[in-house]
Amino acid sequence: MNRSKWIVGLGLAVLVTAAYAQMPGITRTAVQEQDLGSLPGRQAVVARVEFAPGALVPLHTHAGEEIGYVIEGEIERQVQGQQTRIVKAGEGFVVPAGTQHLGKNVGSVKAVVLATYVHEKGKPVATMVKQ
């Protein structure tokens, strides 16, 4: 990896981690960031998100779509305009851009989600909703 890509990757890891740093029981690890050649000006960010039992990512939005897959456990998803849904290991979900939503581990074991965010380059991965 060349130095500039390494620096961008490090910046992404800091940005993704900082967005969720205040949330007890949530560990977010940036896996990859890639510009999308077929969609100029857009990028994909892939992250592994671990939720301790009872851990909550409060109401937030994304500048682009969030596409997720539950690897372990189960997550309660509350998405604006949709019914609350429990997403279990082996199931996926999509959250439209700009839609307020939250996620909570409602199980008794750790839950793990692989999340991909497709958004305009330079925009934050997540923005918390002020309550």
| CATH architecture observed for domain 3-128 | Sandwich (2.60)
The ranges assigned to domains in the chain are 3-128
Average pLDDT value over all residues in the chain: 86
Residue pLDDT, tens place only, 29-53: 999 999 998 989 999 999 999 999 9
Reported pTM? 0.80
Reported as a pLDDT band with limits 50, 70 and 90, residue 22 is low
Q: What is the DSSP string of the chain?
A: --HHHHHHHHHHHHHHHHHTTTSTTEEEEEEEEEE-TTSTTEEEEEEEEEE-TT-EEEEEE-SSEEEEEEEESEEEEEETTS--EEEETT-EEEE-TT--EEEEE-SSS-EEEEEEEEEETTS-S-EEPP-
